Amino acid sequence: MIAVINNTATPEQIHHFVSWVEEKGLSANVSQGTNETIIGLIGDTSQIDPFLLESMDIVDRVQRVSEPFKKANRKFHPTDTVVDCGHGVLLGGGHFQVIAGPCSVEGKNLIEIAREVHAAGATMLRGGAFKPRTSPYSYQGMGKEGLDLLCEARAELDMPIVTEVMDARDLDLFVDRNIDVLQIGARNSQNFTLLREAGRTGIPVLIKRGISGTIDELLMAAEYVMSEGNSQVILCERGIRTYETRTRNTFDLSAVSVLHHLSHLPVVADPSHATGYARYVSPMALAATAAGADGLEIEVHNCPSKAWSDGAQALTPEQFAQTMKKISRIREVITEDEQEQ
């Protein structure tokens, strides 16, 4: 349930209303917008009479919210959330960013790849130090050493790091190194312990849609993080498993629009994992940009044929630079259209 507060309400009146809500055994989420204040009533609101609320002087109107996600819901927070990824990089609310780098951190070639993607216009660096693999015999990542290599690249290029955390027990490694954005992978999107613990760090969290996850399940994963007081959450569409076999996954581009309609959180798209083949990555990156994604996550490797994981879907630095030029032109059109509106 949400209560839209009159713009004439004083801070004292709002505080009194929140106290009243909490006395009823509910929690209140206050969202201060430019033109109005919205207070979300979270908990069992079945015993709250909406007519009683509307009779209060400061309440303009009341409406029930059927969706179970409250903090991620645009109804509670009508303005877009802008996530501060560090190093002056903002994502969402008109701020578009490209996250690029290798699937796995393999060694000193990371800095070479980082320099290439940075020169081409990428604003954030990705790379997996801990890798979830289907086979226990596949390369699992460099672990702590990989995190340190990412930090070295960050120090040289002043780029925020986006890297995956697989286990809540490893979070201290990420916190100690001031990792800028924690990535929760598709396989862990319903690892509720990890989601809660990641939320408690206060570090921005990028959550990928589950392998067969619904849009609502992705939003509920975000809700777990946000329920711990961390509003810095990024949603990622990375394709879902369907009966189609010509691509690694089925890239659900409609999810970008649906998520923007349902939630205030920024949405990025990952055409690399979605398609699984380098030849499809560029056109799908352009499509996601045109669809209104707030950012892209693209895998780049300086020698994909020798990559330790997912080389088939990695762009070369040259291919990435060409793609970035096309992305820039699409963004110019989108920005001009937004300014006209």
Convert the pLDDT of each residue in 231-283 to its tens digit.
999 999 999 999 999 999 999 999 999 999 999 999 999 999 999 999 999 99
- Is the same domain home to 321 and 253? yes
- Is the same domain home to 10 and 147? no
The CATH number of the domain where 24 resides is what? 3.30.70.1140
Mean pLDDT of 310-317: 96
- Binned at pLDDT 50, 70 and 90, residue 173 comes out as very high
DSSP assignment of 241-310 equals: --S--SSSSB--THHHHHHHHHBSS-EEE-HHHHH-SHHHHHHHHHHHHHTT-SEEEEEB-SSGGG-SS-
Residues spanned by the domain of 19: 2-63
Assigned domain for 146 exists: yes
- Is the same domain home to 55 and 157? no
- Is the same domain home to 14 and 49? yes
44 pLDDT higher than 90: no
How open is the CA angle 264-265-267, to the nearest 5 degrees? Answer: 120
DSSP 146: H
The CATH number of the domain where 274 resides is what? 3.20.20.70
- Is the same domain home to 142 and 34? no
Assigned domain for 316 exists: yes
- Is the same domain home to 179 and 221? yes
- Binned at pLDDT 50, 70 and 90, residue 327 comes out as very high
CA distances from 67 to 54, 146, 249 (A): 21, 40, 27
- Is the same domain home to 194 and 296? yes
How open is the CA angle 156-198-272, to the nearest 5 degrees? Answer: 60
- Is the same domain home to 8 and 116? no
Q: How many domains does the chain have?
A: 2
Assigned domain for 234 exists: yes
Residue at a domain's end among 63, 96, 113: 63
Q: What CA–CA distance (Å, rounded) separates 165 from 232? A: 16
8 pLDDT higher than 90: no
What Rg, from alpha-carbon coordinates, does the chain have?
21
341 pLDDT higher than 80: no
Q: What is the pLDDT of residue 223?
A: 96
SS3 of the chain: helix, strand, coil, percent, to 5: 40, 20, 40
Mean pLDDT of 179-197: 97
Assigned domain for 210 exists: yes
- Is the same domain home to 44 and 134? no
- Is the same domain home to 8 and 154? no
- Is the same domain home to 272 and 302? yes
Mean pLDDT of 53-66: 88
- Is the same domain home to 58 and 100? no
The fraction of the chain above a pLDDT of 90, given in percent, is: 81
Q: Mean pLDDT for the chain?
A: 94
Range with lowest mean pLDDT among 38-42, 121-125, 300-304: 38-42
Assigned domain for 156 exists: yes
21 pLDDT higher than 70: yes
